[in-house]
Structure 1
Amino acid sequence: MRTSTVAIALIAPVVQAGLRFGCSSLTIQRLDPVVEPGNKPSAHLHHIIGGNAFNATMEGDVGERGTCTTCEMSQDFSNYWTAVLYFKHPTNGSYHRVPVTNNAALATGTTGGMTIYYTPHDFQTDDIKASPITAFKPGFRMTVGSPTTSSLADANKHIGLRYNCLTTLINRGAEMADFPTKPCAAGIFTVHHFPRCWDGVNLDSPDHQSHMYNTIKHDGFVNSDPCPASHPVRMPQLTYETVWDTTKFNNLWKSGDPQPFVWSFEGSSGYGTHADYMFGWKGDSLQKAMNQSNCFYDGCGSITKQQMSVANKCTVKDQVGENIDGWVSALPGRSA
């Protein structure tokens, strides 16, 4: 989200529609039920938030199976995940996982995690009646971005996948398609905007992306072009924001050294940033929220918020059992 949009989001003008809420971290494991269903472990490490139905294999109505969630919105048992950021030591080549820290303006008690958005349009447009929003369906899943993206030209095609070098949690500065080239005073901010136009038929596709169409041209939080005939159904704009606390490594990043951060899939550039989504809202709770207007971050009159002290008790078992903390000679799943 661009700096100007940050101000809009935090001030929350009178006319607003959509949801903005925090979810604490659920688990950090090598599991990926969308791209690698059934694999224990998956190829690389993921940071996961949301409902406790998360597993190596997930089919059908995830929301009905969940019994707790790390999200503030108590009816959201969806799962959201991204790759994990690591710092590579410039001298000995060892790796250290970068912790996730709280984003600005989240509920008290949120632990790491992400900020999640479901917005019908943008932050200042209230035209829901003119362009109805259809909520995701049980069994729906999708991805955005790809770990195989390796060039700036290809990364620039994904307008909604960006980085910010934080001065503070509020002052984000310019958006970038790649990792920052200097130490960041308050960490590295990542944003993942998903496509918002659906083909109206398929809950998934072989590449986990073709059933959706991306109309974002300039900024993920600004209204985009109409949905095409091939993907005519307008769905909520789903967005993840994550703050990686890179500050503890700033003193190890010496002037003139190359950029030292890598994703858990061993991408030396930031171009391969990507994210996965598995829908899991209870019943029609998300649709009811999307039918409302003049609401933002308050449950839209139909969703109950839970205390984060309750959300933080939600956990899942470690199904892989490997060391992901401290200094390690190789990234999890990769040879030294």
Structure 2
Amino acid sequence: MTLCLCLAVAGVVAMRSSSESTPYSAHRVRLADVPRRAGAPAPGPDAALGSFVQDCGRNERGHHNTDNMVTSPGLVGGAHHTHDYVGNVSTHALSTDRSLVAAATTCTSGDRSAYFWPVLRRLDRKGEDRHAHGGGADGNTGEILTPTSVRVEFLGNPAGKVVALPRFLRMITGDPVAATTDDRRVRAQWSCSGFPDRITRDYPKCPSGSGPTRTLEFPGCWNGLHTDSPDHRAHMAFPAENGVCPANTFPVPRLRLTLAYDLPRGVPYAVDSFPEQRRHPKTDHALFVNAMSERQLARMARCVNEGRRCRAR
């Protein structure tokens, strides 16, 4: 009987050690230990303080693939992790500006843009990347979670008026290889529902009644010339804290995606990533391909500049 008890205890210890040694377990933090974020600086006299919200659903249809038409166009499975999509229902590796405009969309306004990000998975349930070679070969296992809400919002600039976004603009925010590089491009913002002023780069342990959230902020300054660049970043820039854009760039409506999830307290979760990134939370990122009409883009810029709160229709 003593032997059985020892074996049982050893088994529990082994399971606990295995769980605690997973790559993502070292990057979890209690929300109570996350400091409150400082308030935004006061806006200037010419600030554009409006907002423009799109209703594009929350990927209820389960549009998933391991493609990335921005960074790996034409390469099927080039992302090596699964993406969630809202907006354009046809987005995949072979998509083009022309194919996006011809496709349907989940956005009630008719916005055919592509909005996408790596999926979040619940780790206490089975599931694997069915798109990966061999199934789960990229190390992204667990049940894919459908967000309980996805907020697509374009914001103004606290320093001055914005110009309209160019049609077919491509953008990326965050760094999908942040675990093996420096933090220069990291934009991961994790929190828990009901606590928007507590932001962390780790996976938050949320209190009862609250689930994890992800906020993905895109750059809000454009060089006025190009809709893409070789590294998919150089044509865009982030403004300073006071909203001032770098030299030779212009403020544009700034895209913010806010994703919320419903998870019981204590349930482990992790974001999909490249295999060598080991699902590190600071690799969170998102992408955008603008397929709105010129009329929609002009209406958005006007709404933001006039300080109104608009909802696309």
Provide the TM-score with structure 2 as the length reference.
0.69
From the superposition, tell whether residues 193 and 262 of structure 1 become closer, same or farther in structure 2 (CA, over 3 Å): closer
Partner residue, 1:20 = 53
Once residues 157 and 208 of structure 2 are traced to their aligned partners in structure 1, the CA distance between those partners, rounded to angstroms, is: 31
Where structure 2 has 5 or more consecutive residues not aligned to the other structure, the ranges are: 1-35, 40-47, 126-138
From the superposition, tell whether residues 269 and 283 of structure 1 become closer, same or farther in structure 2 (CA, over 3 Å): same
Once residues 300 and 119 of structure 2 are traced to their aligned partners in structure 1, the CA distance between those partners, rounded to angstroms, is: 31
Task: Choose from 204, 208, 225 the match for 2:243.
Answer: 225
Once residues 78 and 55 of structure 1 are traced to their aligned partners in structure 2, the CA distance between those partners, rounded to angstroms, is: 13
Q: Percent identity?
A: 22
From the superposition, tell whether residues 101 and 86 of structure 1 become closer, same or farther in structure 2 (CA, over 3 Å): closer
From the superposition, tell whether residues 136 and 184 of structure 1 become closer, same or farther in structure 2 (CA, over 3 Å): farther
1:277 aligns with 2:288: yes
Once residues 52 and 86 of structure 1 are traced to their aligned partners in structure 2, the CA distance between those partners, rounded to angstroms, is: 22
Shift of 1:289: 2.5
Partner residue, 2:147 = 101
SS of match in other structure, 1:271: helix
> What residue identity is the alignment partner of 1:78?
S
1:296 aligns with 2:299: no
Once residues 208 and 226 of structure 2 are traced to their aligned partners in structure 1, the CA distance between those partners, rounded to angstroms, is: 41
Shift of 1:82: 0.4
> What residue identity is the alignment partner of 1:265?
F
Once residues 280 and 35 of structure 1 are traced to their aligned partners in structure 2, the CA distance between those partners, rounded to angstroms, is: 17
Cα deviation code 1:140-171 (max 9, x no counterpart): 1011111110279717x64x5301023xxx44
Partner residue, 2:69 = 33
Map 1:110-129 to 2 at 5 A: 114-121=150-157
Cα deviation code 1:63-83 (max 9, x no counterpart): 6323x32123x1311110001
1:179 aligns with 2:206: no
Task: Choose from 180, 184, 196 the match for 2:220.
Answer: 196
Partner residue, 2:230 = 206
Partner residue, 1:48 = 85
Once residues 220 and 98 of structure 2 are traced to their aligned partners in structure 1, the CA distance between those partners, rounded to angstroms, is: 21
> What residue identity is the alignment partner of 1:71?
C
From the superposition, tell whether residues 80 and 44 of structure 1 become closer, same or farther in structure 2 (CA, over 3 Å): same
Once residues 269 and 55 of structure 1 are traced to their aligned partners in structure 2, the CA distance between those partners, rounded to angstroms, is: 25
Partner residue, 2:170 = 141
> What residue identity is the alignment partner of 1:87?
R
Partner residue, 1:268 = 279
Cα deviation code 1:170-203 (max 9, x no counterpart): 4445111221146664321001111111111111
Task: Choose from 22, 44, 57 the match for 2:94.
Answer: 57
State the superposition RMSD in angstroms: 3.2
The answer to whether the 8 Å contact 1:100/1:243 transfers is: no
Shift of 1:21: 3.0
Once residues 218 and 84 of structure 2 are traced to their aligned partners in structure 1, the CA distance between those partners, rounded to angstroms, is: 17
The answer to whether the 8 Å contact 2:81/2:272 transfers is: no
Cα deviation code 1:73-97 (max 9, x no counterpart): x13111100011123349xx99323
Partner residue, 1:320 = none
The answer to whether the 8 Å contact 1:61/1:139 transfers is: no
Once residues 120 and 236 of structure 1 are traced to their aligned partners in structure 2, the CA distance between those partners, rounded to angstroms, is: 5
Task: Choose from 236, 241, 244 the match for 2:253.
Answer: 236
Where structure 1 has 5 or more consecutive residues not aligned to the other structure, the ranges are: 6-14, 104-113, 218-223, 254-259, 300-304, 306-336
Once residues 152 and 172 of structure 1 are traced to their aligned partners in structure 2, the CA distance between those partners, rounded to angstroms, is: 28
SS of match in other structure, 2:67: coil
Once residues 66 and 152 of structure 2 are traced to their aligned partners in structure 1, the CA distance between those partners, rounded to angstroms, is: 22
Once residues 40 and 64 of structure 1 are traced to their aligned partners in structure 2, the CA distance between those partners, rounded to angstroms, is: 21
- How many residues are matched? 250
Partner residue, 1:109 = none
Shift of 1:214: 1.1
The answer to whether the 8 Å contact 1:143/1:276 transfers is: yes
From the superposition, tell whether residues 79 and 199 of structure 1 become closer, same or farther in structure 2 (CA, over 3 Å): same
Once residues 116 and 168 of structure 2 are traced to their aligned partners in structure 1, the CA distance between those partners, rounded to angstroms, is: 16
